[in-house]
Amino acid sequence: MNTSGRGSFSRFAQGMRRLLLGTVLAAGCTAAARAATVPLPQLGAGPVEMRVAYAINPRLPRMDAAQLATLLDAMRDAVREHFGVELRFAPVKEVPLAALFATIPARRSAQALKESYDFKSGRADRAALDRAFAQGFRDSRESLAEMIAFAQPHTGPVAADFDDLGRKVAALQLARVQQWAQRKALDGGPAIDGQPFNEFPMWLALGFGELPYELVLTNQLIAGVEYTFPAVHTAIRGGYSNGITSYGRQSRFGTFSVWSTYAFTAGDDQIVALRGGERYTPQEAARLAGISGAHEIGHQLFHFTHPFGQPACLMSPVPMFGYRAWAEKLSAKDCPIGSSPAMTPGAYRFDY
């Protein structure tokens, strides 16, 4: 598992292979049938065309057509500048999010819901979550000492064992997901309701359904707590994901990218505080959403991972929500393709 993916806003589908192996091995399938790897896309000299959806939850704020045009222009420019590829976008298809989720195969959807911790009802098995986090950290092959060092400023002291780390990081994520659960929708009800639209595993499951897009923009707030693949970086954001790149059965390149406009359209004090004080006009919000969304295109077309600590790189994750400060540090000439292992095409294996 490449835990670097969980260390950013864009939790791409790292570890999917082991997840599925676990599921499928129990059913006794053969090795040949249970896993495959998405080949690295072969890009020709011409423009790369992407089919784009804007998946709308009508209960949440959205970008208008002018903002979407600005977003896609900014994404196209950033991809050209940083990755040397010319993107072409098909006209954006606006689709109800519910209709998109309805295409997820029932088996996948059931599995995704099993992986999601039900923080909405308060009836979920908390001890099982603690154990799952501890096991996930054990399996991550990340340094225990480094994970503890990263967690402690947020969790308080952690003993030098996976069980304590699991327990405390689970508690942190559960506490912080409440900041999302308490946000209101346009109708005054909770932004995260009984629908599974906020659940990260459901978005991964979407790629196994009928999804004829390479890029799915959405106004959905994606935040939750999962039994699978815990990460300290994810926990401190309350399980919030701005972007995801994952296996897409119908995608031209074998994976599809999700990019949420939710954190860009919101302008309330809570979000502004998470941005380190940044306030955006609708125009700047759209432009920053496009530049930062280009990061997912790097995952999709080149299978890059994350060059942590290299702020010149578009593939370097945004630490929290301060997109303006992040974008100001970008410099394509200081982060060419091949300049680090993370920036080498094929650095990540999308197994499914």
Residues that bind Zn ion (CB under 5 A): 8, 10
Minimum CB separation from Zn ion for residue 8, in Å?
Answer: 5
Minimum CB separation from Zn ion for residue 315, in Å?
Answer: 7
* Residue number, 8 or 116, with CB nearest to Zn ion: 8
* Residue number, 10 or 234, with CB nearest to Zn ion: 10
7: DSSP letter: G
Report phi then psi at 175, rounded to 5: -65, -45
Measured CA to CA in angstroms, residue 35 lies from 244, 249, 303 at distances of 20, 13, 18
Minimum CB separation from Zn ion for residue 327, in Å?
Answer: 15
* Residue number, 8 or 219, with CB nearest to Zn ion: 8
The CB-nearest residue to Zn ion is 10
Question: Which tokens go with 204?
Answer: 């991964």
* Residue number, 109 or 257, with CB nearest to Zn ion: 257
Minimum CB separation from Zn ion for residue 243, in Å?
Answer: 6
Question: Which tokens go with 9?
Answer: 């806003």
Minimum CB separation from Zn ion for residue 275, in Å?
Answer: 19
User: Which residue(s) pair with 243 in the sheet?
Assistant: 10, 259
* Residue number, 3 or 228, with CB nearest to Zn ion: 3
173: helix, strand or coil:
helix
Minimum CB separation from Zn ion for residue 175, in Å?
Answer: 25
Q: Do 155 and 172 form a contact (C-beta atoms < 8 A)?
A: yes
* Residue number, 3 or 198, with CB nearest to Zn ion: 3
Q: How far apart are CA 343 and CA 65, in angstroms?
A: 33
Minimum CB separation from Zn ion for residue 306, in Å?
Answer: 6
Question: Which tokens go with 30?
Answer: 């053969």
* Residue number, 3 or 220, with CB nearest to Zn ion: 3
Q: 215-218 and 255-260 as β-strands: parallel, antiparallel, unpaired?
A: parallel
Question: Which tokens go with 105?
Answer: 């195969």
* Residue number, 8 or 246, with CB nearest to Zn ion: 8
Measured CA to CA in angstroms, residue 284 lies from 77, 125, 280, 318 at distances of 15, 42, 6, 16
Q: Do 191 and 59 form a contact (C-beta atoms < 8 A)?
A: yes
Of 13, 12, 17, the residue nearest 35 (C-alpha): 17
The interaxial angle of helices 126-140 and 144-155, nearest 10 deg, is 140
Minimum CB separation from Zn ion for residue 132, in Å?
Answer: 23
